[in-house]
């Protein structure tokens, strides 16, 4: 059985001839019925006022919250106003994030993009959007940013028509759909998901997410995580998960669509858990050497744990026949840890302490120098000692900063 995901589009511009909204229309037309995209105008949403919130929130706000909750994922686009995101969109996000602890966007897959007549494409605005969305907390699609520069030349009759820009944005939508379903996605203008077991008649998108629903999905996820880590993907059936968690199979299908969807959610959740401490390390006040050493030792400390090694073996075993899993792991795991290192390298470059290079490329080289060999040895049962780890890290830092060439 195939079933399309339902997407919601929010534009940060109220302008009739808005280029941002035109981008959403272009995507909507390209996706057509394969992943219907409903664009919700934000004209009626009033400026946020906590006095008006609560049970008697304005109708437009209730409509906004409900549209977000009943969608499978959201595409948000903002113009850049004075180097920031549009106030209209920020205001809508503020409403959507309340009441406290019940954000409509909590865990919701969100793809962000910006567009501007300038060649910078509103990239600064996107940075702000992402920061706000993380605090809400939405499930941001982790991928290279979609910025559309010179957008006024790419739009005709209120619709994005430029082929390259459309392709670029559609690749992001594919990643969003991947994030939502973790199943087969086609990049050629749409998607479909094959569910192993048919869903009950009520469409999944019509199910309103509640705090209890979140708790149930968390319970399913954490119980299934331990089962999968212990016995592998094939070693665990949906029936066994149901027996361990309680409830019925419908709970699993409602929350995760199918066993594969649950598995992808587990992979992302585990990546988040493993990297939770790493992403908050503050190395900003440290020297280059100390900063790199701190990051490297922290990361190795995480990756060489037995639990992570079991997880890594599981990924390797299953990815060949289940590529969405590898993509989910790559985006939530190594790409994320590399980007933390890249941020540090970029800051050092800006401060003139490192020569200019692509920070992500440099971070990847450093990351792989410290990780690859030690992790593989550990996976093969030969765990390096603390002294070996320190020696390897120091050698890698020296090679990274000074190379091996005679000067
Ligand atoms: C108040 C204001 C501030 C703007 N600041 C920026 C800016 O900082 N960077 C930029 O790229 N464009 C800036 N622009 C240009 C907008 O990106 C441009 O008007 C864009 O087309 C608006 O989006 P829309 O077409 O979706 O309405 C600004 C426009 C306005 C009205």
Task: Give, in order, the Cα–Cα distances in Å from 246 to each of 250, 266, 269.
Answer: 11, 18, 21
Residue 199 confidence (pLDDT) above 60:
no
User: Nearest 10 degrees: CA dihedral of 7, 180, 336, 340?
Assistant: 40
CA-14 nearest atom, ligand 1:
27
Indicate if ligand 1 lies below 6 Å from the C-beta of 79: yes
pLDDT band of residue 184 (cuts 50, 70, 90) is very low
pLDDT mean over 284-299 = 94
Q: What is the mean pLDDT of residues 261-284?
A: 87
Angle at 156 between CA 153 and CA 162, to 5 degrees: 60
Residue 308 has a pLDDT of 94
Average the pLDDT over each of 98-107, 121-130, 290-299 and give the range with the smallest value: 98-107
How many residues does the structure list for the chain? 407
* pLDDT per position as a tens digit, 301-332: 999 999 999 999 999 988 887 777 887 788 78
Listed as own residue / partner, the contacts of 174-178 with beta carbons closer than 8 Å and 24 or more positions apart are 175/111, 175/141, 175/143, 175/331, 176/7, 176/73, 176/75, 176/109, 176/110, 176/111, 176/141, 177/5, 177/35, 177/73, 178/324, 178/327, 178/328
Local confidence band at 213 (pLDDT 50, 70, 90 cut-offs): low
Percent of the chain with pLDDT over 70: 90
Right CATH for 210-252 from 3.40.50, 1.10.10, 2.60.40, 1.20.1730 = 1.10.10
How far is it, in rounded angstroms, from Cα 222 to Cα 108? 19
Superfamily covering domain 278-402: Tetracycline Repressor, domain 2 (1.10.357.10)
When pLDDT is cut at 50, 70 and 90, the band that residue 214 belongs to is: low
pTM of the model: 0.52
CA distance 171 to 175: 6
State whether residue 75 is helix, strand or coil: strand
Measured in Å, residue 67 CA sits from the centre of ligand 1 at 27
The β-bridge relationship of strands 84-85 and 139-140 is unpaired
Tokens coding 327: 């993509």
Predicted local distance difference test score (pLDDT) of residue 332:
81
Mutate to test the pocket of ligand 1, among 16, 26, 81 (most ligand atoms within 8 A of CB): 81
- Residue 326: per-residue pLDDT: 82
Q: Is 132 helix (H, G, I), strand (E, B) or coil?
A: helix
Higher pLDDT, 395 or 267: 395
Residue 154: partners with Cβ closer than 8 Å, 6 or more residues away: 148, 160, 161, 162, 165
Q: Indicate the pLDDT class of residue 201, thresholds 50, 70 and 90.
A: very low
Give me the pLDDT at residue 186, please.
30
Q: Which of 168-172, 239-243, 262-266 has the lowest mean pLDDT?
A: 262-266
What is the predicted pLDDT for the residue at 1?
36
**Atom from ligand 1 closest to the CA of residue 118:** 11
Residue scoring higher pLDDT (264 or 43)? 43
Of the CA atoms within 13 Å of residue 30, those in its CB half-sphere come to 26
Tell me the pLDDT tens digit for each residue of 59-76: 999 999 988 988 899 999
Region 359-372: mean pLDDT is: 93
Q: How far is the CA of 116 from the centre of ligand 1 (A)?
A: 6
Please give the Cα distance from 254 to 209 (Å, whole number). Answer: 10
CB-CB contact of 12 with 80 (8 Å): no
Tell me: pLDDT of 395 over 90: yes
Q: How far apart are the CA of 26 and the centre of ligand 1, in A?
A: 20
**Residue 182 or residue 152, greater confidence:** 152
CB 144 within 8 A of CB 335: no
pLDDT of 182 reads: 52
Mean pLDDT (whole number) for 267-280: 87
The winner for highest mean pLDDT among 70-79, 217-226, 239-248 is: 70-79
CA-to-CA dists, residue 191 to 3, 87, 152, 185, 247, angstroms = 9, 32, 28, 5, 31
With a 6 Å cutoff on the Cβ, whether 126 touches ligand 1 is no
Q: Where are the domains of the chain?
A: 2-194, 210-252, 278-402
Residue 185 confidence (pLDDT) above 50: no
| Contact between residue 392 and residue 374 where contact means Cβ atoms under 8 Å apart | yes
User: Is 120's C-beta closer than 6 angstroms to any atom of ligand 1?
Assistant: yes
- Rounded mean pLDDT, 18-43: 91
pLDDT of 339-349, one tens digit each?
889 889 988 98
Give residues with Cβ within 8 angstroms of 356, minimum separation 6: 349
pLDDT over 80 at 164, yes or no: yes
Q: Is the pLDDT of residue 96 over 50?
A: yes
DSSP H stretches of helix in 139-278: 163-181, 211-231, 238-245, 249-256, 259-275
Find the mean pLDDT for residues 186-214.
Answer: 33
Class assignment of domain 2-194? alpha beta
């Amino acid at each position: 059985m195939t079933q399309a995901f339902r997407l919601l589009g929010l534009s940060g511009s109220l302008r009739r001839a808005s280029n941002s909204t035109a981008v959403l229309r272009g995507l909507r037309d390209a996706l057509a019925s394969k992943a219907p995209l409903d664009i919700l105008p934000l004209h009626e949403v009033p400026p946020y006022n906590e006095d008006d919130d609560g049970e008697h929130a304005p109708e437009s706000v209730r409509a906004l919250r409900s549209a977000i909750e009943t969608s499978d994922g959201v595409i948000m686009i903002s113009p850049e106003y004075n180097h920031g995101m549009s106030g209209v969109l920020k205001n809508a996000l503020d409403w959507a994030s309340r009441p406290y602890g019940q954000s409509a966007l909590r865990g919701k897959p969100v793809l962000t993009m910006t567009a501007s007549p300038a060649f910078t494409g509103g990239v600064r605005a996107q940075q702000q959007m992402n920061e706000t969305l993380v605090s809400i907390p939405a499930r941001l699609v982790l991928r290279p940013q979609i910025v559309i520069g010179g957008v006024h030349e790419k739009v005709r009759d209120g619709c994005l028509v430029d082929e390259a820009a459309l392709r670029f944005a559609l690749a992001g939508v594919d990643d969003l759909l991947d994030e939502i379903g973790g199943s087969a996605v086609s990049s050629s203008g749409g998607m479909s998901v094959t569910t192993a077991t048919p869903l009950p008649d009520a469409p999944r998108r019509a199910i309103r997410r509640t705090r209890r629903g979140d708790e149930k999905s968390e319970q399913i996820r954490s119980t299934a995580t331990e089962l999968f880590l212990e016995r592998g993907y094939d070693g665990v059936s949906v029936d066994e998960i149901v027996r361990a968690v309680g409830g019925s199979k419908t709970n699993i299908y409602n929350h995760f669509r199918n066993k594969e969807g649950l598995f992808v959610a587990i992979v992302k959740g585990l990546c988040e858990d493993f990297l939770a401490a790493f992403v908050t390390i503050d190395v900003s006040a440290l020297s280059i050497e100390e900063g790199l050493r701190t990051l490297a030792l922290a990361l190795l400390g995480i990756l060489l744990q037995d639990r992570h090694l079991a997880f890594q073996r599981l990924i390797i075993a299953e990815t060949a026949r289940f590529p969405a899993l590898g993509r989910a792991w790559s985006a939530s795991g190594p790409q994320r840890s590399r980007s933390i290192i890249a941020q540090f390298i970029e800051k050092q470059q800006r401060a003139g302490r490192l020569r200019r290079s692509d920070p992500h490329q440099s971070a990847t080289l450093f990351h792989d120098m410290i990780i690859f060999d030690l992790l593989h040895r550990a996976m093969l049962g030969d765990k390096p000692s603390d002294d070996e780890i320190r020696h390897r890290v120091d050698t890698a830092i020296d090679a990274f900063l000074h190379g091996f060439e005679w000067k």
